[in-house]
Amino acid sequence: MTRAYIVAGGTGGHINAALSIGEALESEFKVIYITGKRPLDLRLFKNKNVIHVNAKPLRGKGKLQTLWNVCVNVALLLKFIILFISKKPNIIIGAGGYVCGPPLLASKLFKTKIYILEQNSVMGMTNKLLAAISDKIFTNFSTTKNLPEKYQQRVLRVGNPVRSNIKNTAQVLEEKVKILIFGGSLGAKQINDIIPSIINQKFSRPISIIHQTGETSDNQKVISNNENEYQALSYIDDMNEKYHWANLLITRAGASTLTELAIIQKPSVLIPYPQAVDDHQTLNARSFSKESDFYVSVIDSKLKDKELAEAVILEIEKIINKGFESKSTPTEDAVGKIKNEVLNDNRI
């Protein structure tokens, strides 16, 4: 039986890309997922054929922590070598996250076809190391910073895999302007902290907000004043339904989020995560804003709370006054491209 191991973890962006690819390959391979033990790893891979491992990041807090992390990952490398002796992978795909390191390195000993996916405009440390042993490197952006020039012949730009249920939907503008706010799959305290200022603002039209907060007690579940409405959810499972509901979106600038926004085609205000490695979310956001044919604004995420709230409020008012036109334009079939490359390479 031909086996495809798909590895990802840590964020909804990595995991949903892995699930999208796995869904496409299920007709040709026995798909086995490998992930970590963080909250989203457990939640999003629930009821899947999955192996959970306690992988550690390459960057630790201090030399002792880094040394410990290396030792844990070396032990995992040996574990996967033993596993692959009896359950050899025909292909293995790293869809993002430091959990990809040990299993992809182990698979190299078995002459497995190795693929990695880089979703961001800046290649992360794990992928930069794995690029050396990968047969193909799938990228989202036309230019990927930190991707060594010597690997360019193995690079194929495919776009970013997205969940099959994410669809472009028509605008439905009612009495209140509906705003969907989310800070990625894990929430964002920086965004949570400016919510009261937005709720208490008097706009030219009343607003209704649905806000994914992440697992936090920063916000009450439901807040309302005379005009505006607010509802907080720790996690949104039915994201496409919320996309359909919204007139405009306020969010971070992770690669998967931007791919979904490209499909949704609704006015968007981006607040890049300021602590992202190599500030890749800011680069993502700027590239996306230039390439989009619908309204996209990028806010300086290093602003203090008051200034950040004021900047977001100005953008909301600008969008309200500008209007809510949306377009339905073709998007890249990243999953289809990856599937075709894998099948052609393996002559299935």
Task: State how far the Cα of 266 lies from the Cα of 325, in Å rounded to an integer.
Answer: 8
Q: What is the DSSP string of 133-194?
A: G-SEEEESSSS-BT--GGGGGGEEE------TT---------SSEEEEEE-STT--HHHHTT
The model's confidence at residue 142, banded by pLDDT at 50, 70 and 90, is: confident
Residue 9 has pLDDT above 80, yes or no: yes
Nearest one of 110, 55, 49, 50 to 77, comparing CA atoms? 55
The whole-number average pLDDT for the span 239-261 is 91
Task: State how far the Cα of 170 lies from the Cα of 266, in Å rounded to an integer.
Answer: 9
Residue 205 has pLDDT above 70, yes or no: yes
The pLDDT tens digits of the residues spanning 52-84 come to 999 998 776 778 888 898 899 999 999 999 999
The whole-number average pLDDT for the span 251-276 is 90
Q: What is the pLDDT of residue 330?
A: 56
270 contacts 253 by C-beta, under 8 angstroms: yes
Question: For residue 99, which phi and psi values (nearest 5 degrees)?
Answer: -65, -20
The model's confidence at residue 184, banded by pLDDT at 50, 70 and 90, is: low
Q: What is the pLDDT of residue 308?
A: 95
The whole-number average pLDDT for the span 324-335 is 67
Q: What is the pLDDT of residue 322?
A: 81
What's the burial of 108, exposed, middle or buried (CB within 10 Å: 0-12/13-18/19+)?
Answer: middle
Residue 6 has pLDDT above 90, yes or no: yes
Task: State how far the Cα of 319 lies from the Cα of 158, in Å rounded to an integer.
Answer: 31
Task: State how far the Cα of 298 lies from the Cα of 250, in Å rounded to an integer.
Answer: 10
Q: What is the pLDDT of residue 26?
A: 94
The whole-number average pLDDT for the span 253-265 is 89
Nearest one of 160, 143, 148, 125 to 261, comparing CA atoms? 160
The pLDDT tens digits of the residues spanning 304-318 come to 989 999 999 999 999
DSSP code for 233: E
Q: What is the pLDDT of residue 327?
A: 55
Q: What is the pLDDT of residue 128?
A: 92
CATH number of 3-161+332-346: 3.40.50.2000
Residue 107 has pLDDT above 70, yes or no: yes
Residue 169 has pLDDT above 80, yes or no: no
The pLDDT tens digits of the residues spanning 212-245 come to 988 765 545 556 566 899 998 888 888 889 999 9
**Average per-residue pLDDT for the chain:** 88
Provide the 3-class DSSP secondary structure of residue 109. helix
Residue 3 has pLDDT above 90, yes or no: yes
Share of the chain above pLDDT 70, in %: 91
What number of other Cβ atoms are within 10 A of residue 340's Cβ? 13
- CATH 3.40.50.2000 residue ranges for the chain: 3-161+332-346, 177-322
Residue 147 has pLDDT above 80, yes or no: yes
Q: What is the pLDDT of residue 218?
A: 52
Q: What is the pLDDT of residue 29?
A: 95
Question: For residue 31, which phi and psi values (nearest 5 degrees)?
Answer: -90, 130
The model's confidence at residue 163, banded by pLDDT at 50, 70 and 90, is: confident
Buried b (16+ CB within 10 A) or exposed e, 225-256: eeebbbebbebbeebbebbbebbbbbbbbbbb
Task: State how far the Cα of 93 lies from the Cα of 113, in Å rounded to an integer.
Answer: 9
CATH number of 177-322: 3.40.50.2000
